[in-house]
Amino acid sequence: MDNDVAAGSAGSTGSTTSILGQLALGLTLLAFGLGHTRVVDGLTEADAVSLATYVGGVTLFVAGLLAFRERDAFTGTAYSGLGALWFTWAAGAGDTVSDNAAGLFLLLFALVALSLALGAPASATLTRATYALLFVALLLLAVSEFGGGAALAKAAGWFAAVGGLVAWYAATAALAHWPTVLPKRAAGRGVTATG
CATH of domain 16-176: 1.25.40
Helix or strand run (H / E) with residue 116:
helix 99-119
Residue 169's pLDDT band (cuts 50, 70, 90): very high
Mean pLDDT over all residues of the chain?
85
Dihedral angle over CA of 155, 21, 8, 129, nearest 10: -20
Amino acid identity at 121: P
Model confidence, pTM: 0.83
Amino acid identity at 192: T
Q: Where are the domains of the chain?
A: 16-176
Percent of the chain with pLDDT over 90: 57
**Each residue of 104-156: pLDDT tens digit?**
999 999 999 999 999 998 878 999 999 999 999 999 999 999 998 889 999 99
